[in-house]
Amino acid sequence: MQVEAKTGDLKIETFDEGLVLTPLGAWTAEGVDAAARHAETVDLSGAQGKTLAFDLGELDRLDTVGVLVLHQLEDRAAEIGAKVEIHNAKPPHKRLLDALSDRGRGEPPATRHEFGPLTLLADVGEGVLEIGKDAVRATSFLGAVVAATGKLLLAPWRFRYTSTVVHLERVGLRAVPIIALISFLVGAIVSQQSIFQLKNFGATLFVVDLLGILVLRELGVLLTAIMVAGRSGSAFTAEIGSMKMREEIDALKTMGLDPIEILAMPRLVALVIALPLLAFIASMSALLGGGLVAWLYGDVTPVTFLQRLKDAISLQTFFVGLVKAPFMAVVIGLIACTEGMKVEGSAESLGARTTSSVVKSIFIVIVLDGVFAMFFAAMGI
């Protein structure tokens, strides 16, 4: 009469070549205590420098808990220099072992706690390398966008007009209230602070010149670009990143569709159209806020304000600010889409890339504004 093996039993046999361990019964969560006790207490010294073989032919049932216990025995064998072999595994057990071969076996990531000059230098070096990689990715993505643009020019019926209109509504129309409000408040604050200082010199009227040139050349488009980067750029990164996490972008490639053409082009076109219009609205709102404060705080009547504004600015001043908007829109769109494509399979990665998208977009927009300012100054405009 054959006696049924107990759950979690282990038979040990010694040979000249080493040890043979034969798990018996069921190595499952039900018998984890007995199996784990074997894994901790069994004497493996006979396999030192030799072979430790697992004979799984008499194993009735095996689950992930049992596999983890086997991994513990394998780790102990590796510590004494034993070679591990597995024999007679049933097909279901073999598939489970293969699927979990690397789970729980790796070392935890090293955490660097020390801080010093070398650590700081290493961090700076890593940051510089990452900047170089980002530049390469952005250039590659820009090339893909240019290629997609060429394809769409040859086959304009492939362009996603409906998607572009939807993004145009989200980026442009829905952003009007918040951009108009913030620009109005900023214009009012700049006007109040300028009047407060100019009163000391009896030159309150010059607040109109200052406000008009500052808003139309710099402040209107820069404020708009920063708000669009924070509002729409982050949304683009989160949307594309979520699609990347759910492997929807891979599905598009599998179906023979170009993700740049499907996802990036409508967003970029919507940004290029919306940002100049929003910059115009922002400039008008800032001038309105500044003019209102100049009237109430500086006794500059609306008629005087408008007349002085007409003398202080020209159509060139207006276009100098507005011409920057499409370039800033392209930069924001490229960074947002590139960061979205870099998202990996975790929520932490999505949050990090969204944050990175906003920070990089705002930084590059400010740098680009400075480059334009130097260019126009050199041209005498």
Task: Return the pLDDT at 181.
Answer: 95
So what's the pLDDT on residue 107?
52
Question: What HEC string does the chain produce?
Answer: CCCCCCCCEEEEEEECCEEEEEEEEEECHHHHHHHHHHHHHCCCHHHCCCEEEEECCCEEEECHHHHHHHHHHHHHHHHCCCEEEEECCCHHHHHHHHHCCCCCCCCCCCCCCCCCHHHHHHHHHHHHHHHHHHHHHHHHHHHHHHHHHHHHHHCHHHCCHHHHHHHHHHHCHHHHHHHHHHHHHHHHHHHHHHHHHHHHHCCHHHHHHHHHHHHHHHHHHHHHHHHHHHHHHHHHHHHHHHHHHCCHHHHHHHCCCCHHHHHHHHHHHHHHHHHHHHHHHHHHHHHHHHHHHHHHHHCCCHHHHHHHHHHHCCHHHHHHHHCHHHHHHHHHHHHHHHHHHCCCCCHHHHHHHHHHHHHHHHHHHHHHHHHHHHHHHHHCC
What pLDDT, on a 0 to 100 scale, did the predictor assign at position 115?
63
* pTM (whole model) above 0.85: no
- The pLDDT score that the predictor gives to residue 229 is 93
pLDDT one digit per residue (tens) for the chain, 381 residues: 233 444 557 777 877 777 787 887 777 777 666 667 766 777 777 777 778 788 888 877 777 777 787 777 787 777 777 778 888 878 887 877 777 776 555 554 555 556 667 778 888 888 888 888 888 888 888 888 888 888 888 888 888 889 899 999 999 999 999 999 999 999 999 999 999 888 888 888 899 999 999 999 989 999 999 999 999 999 999 999 998 888 888 888 888 888 888 888 999 999 999 999 999 999 999 999 999 999 998 888 899 999 999 888 888 888 888 999 999 999 999 999 999 888 887 888 888 899 989 999 999 999 999 999 899 888 887
